[in-house]
Structure 1
């Protein structure tokens, strides 16, 4: 197996507290992230050859960010140096990126300036066996839709496995197109699609049966996951694997389980419940990384799903965008909660 190449925008997450204490302290916590970088970071930590492609301005800040990634064993050689700025977003502590309180400051970033003539995909894909991207990329502008389409065309021609995370960010789709007008054409080139039943409806036009989701009962949600997975496989014949995550607030904590449809069978993970969590950001990225890790190493669908789910659950207790949990940590979590 070759490298896993993740493609997306590196972002700095700025975290003001809701009460405004940061103004008194003259200090703002921040984290290095971005959905695809979170995947690349997890894979590198778990020993999978991991490369990352983004665009950054050519300045000292980018040099430091490149060094940060290289220290984590991420291959940054594909990174494009262009433009003037790094993308930012502001998210109050403890909130989810789907929350209405998120503020994006990404317009005019180096990544947003990518065009189809910028990246030489033939050379970028040398030594790559898996390509990962998310729906956040085509949410930014039409040029990035075209860049993703070009990447998928070359990846398909080279026989590279492609995974897609259906991250839906309502505040990003502002250039005149709805996700369902864009995403199906990209999804058609993907081998593995991850998201949830709501994202599949919003972005791929898959049917949403309200009677199965309104009460968030596990049995009905699992039933819907099967229906959605089968609908995706019918609509997109190249896709052979569909994953769904289900994460709900549980008091101050969380209730979390997942499904994986693979080789005509639906696997359902152990359900995790916690009374308190630290940080919701990056949990889904960690789940995606766990899927890649499992399939990369030839694990069964059931083993892959349990590893990915435990990895995502553990991320909820880590204050950063990317996980710091090792493979041993995650396997210990599976053992503990499986009792």
Structure 2
């Protein structure tokens, strides 16, 4: 395992923090209107992480905010059935956030619409939650860049819980997932994220997200190179600059997924303890859904570190888990540890 992250995580649980969303998925042809039916998925980036960890037998807790009503009771019952501890959920506000993902004939034409204004989570304010209680029994705290993208108020809530978690010595991870349709409140992502990332021990994303979120530029014109060696070299450079700028950070992970020439290519890299690791590469002719793949990778990182695996083992597990998620329609993975391990061993 990474020496910088070495601690007994098994003394506590992993708490995933973020907004629970209902995903509605109409088809692009409008058949859902004739059928009078919409597919509904319970999701949210951080919930996807919590679901994967629970499936893989890591003690998994989830914090979100929901209105106190019958629908919320049904949703929380569904989440709890996955073995996730929902006792930290905060009840208040009037609605659950939604997003619509219209399924195109190919994944490039999927259409995303958010409907999460004035949701219970978006209406959280600093001081509303007792973080000491929420963080009790927690050894790892995870959040994503989607949360502070909602509003300055939500970003302030994030800062408060990060400060509380850091003060308690809890390991903190962040997924720098960028959502261009968010960040609509007058702040650039790096204006907010550079303050929050100061508290993070593990940072996951990709070199382009880091450029957008943290202002650490991708050096040179590599966007169209298509050369794995160049991308990995840039991942190492970016990782070193992250650790220099944010000294609390102990590990940086970068994922690479490319769609081209009729194939999906997927691989990843990890920088930990001054050493750089790259994963085996996976490819496929077609996939089912990109939703939740990055969340699954993040869960794989946490799983590896939590179980004291080496950096290379951790990276291989996270990469294989994320690749397998591309073939599932659900938001969260349903692949077991055994299935993921078999993927690593078989290279497919």
For 1:317, what is the secondary structure of its paired residue? Answer: coil
Please say if residues 232 and 269 of structure 2, whose CA atoms lie closer than 8 Å, have aligned partners that are also in contact: yes
In structure 2, the partner of 1:167 is 177
In structure 1, the partner of 2:3 is none
Could you report, residue by residue, the CA deviation over 1:152-200 in whole angstroms, capped at 9, with x for unpaired residues? 1111111000000001001110111010100001001000000000110
Residue 126 (structure 1) aligned with residue 136 (structure 2): yes
Between the aligned partners of 1:109 and 1:95, the Cα distance in structure 2 is 31
In structure 1, the partner of 2:229 is 219
Cα drift, residue 97 of structure 1: 9.9
For 2:102, what is the secondary structure of its paired residue? Answer: coil
Between the aligned partners of 1:248 and 1:85, the Cα distance in structure 2 is 37
For 1:246, what is the secondary structure of its paired residue? Answer: strand
Cα drift, residue 214 of structure 1: 2.4
Residue 51 (structure 1) aligned with residue 61 (structure 2): yes
Cα drift, residue 8 of structure 1: 0.2
Residue 110 (structure 1) aligned with residue 110 (structure 2): no
Please say if residues 252 and 277 of structure 1, whose CA atoms lie closer than 8 Å, have aligned partners that are also in contact: no
CA change 1:329–1:156 in 2 (3 A) is same
In structure 2, the partner of 1:266 is 276
Could you state the TM-score of these two structures normalised by the residue count of structure 2? 0.94
Please say if residues 175 and 204 of structure 2, whose CA atoms lie closer than 8 Å, have aligned partners that are also in contact: yes
Residue 255 (structure 1) aligned with residue 265 (structure 2): yes
Between the aligned partners of 2:343 and 2:262, the Cα distance in structure 1 is 21
Unaligned runs of 5+ in 1: none
In structure 1, the partner of 2:18 is 8
Between the aligned partners of 1:139 and 1:96, the Cα distance in structure 2 is 28
Please say if residues 104 and 111 of structure 2, whose CA atoms lie closer than 8 Å, have aligned partners that are also in contact: no
Residue 312 (structure 1) aligned with residue 298 (structure 2): no
In structure 2, the partner of 1:298 is 308
For 1:209, what is the secondary structure of its paired residue? Answer: coil
Count of residue correspondences: 338
In structure 2, the partner of 1:40 is 50
Which of 149, 157, 160 lines up with 1:139 in the alignment?
149
Cα drift, residue 251 of structure 1: 4.9
For 1:302, what is the secondary structure of its paired residue? Answer: helix
Please say if residues 91 and 97 of structure 1, whose CA atoms lie closer than 8 Å, have aligned partners that are also in contact: no
Residue 25 (structure 1) aligned with residue 35 (structure 2): yes
Between the aligned partners of 1:57 and 1:252, the Cα distance in structure 2 is 45
Could you state the TM-score of these two structures normalised by the residue count of structure 1? 0.97
Please say if residues 213 and 220 of structure 1, whose CA atoms lie closer than 8 Å, have aligned partners that are also in contact: no
Please say if residues 94 and 278 of structure 1, whose CA atoms lie closer than 8 Å, have aligned partners that are also in contact: no
Which of 158, 176, 190 lines up with 1:180 in the alignment?
190
Between the aligned partners of 2:201 and 2:105, the Cα distance in structure 1 is 31
Between the aligned partners of 1:101 and 1:252, the Cα distance in structure 2 is 21
Please say if residues 94 and 279 of structure 1, whose CA atoms lie closer than 8 Å, have aligned partners that are also in contact: no
Cα drift, residue 21 of structure 1: 1.4
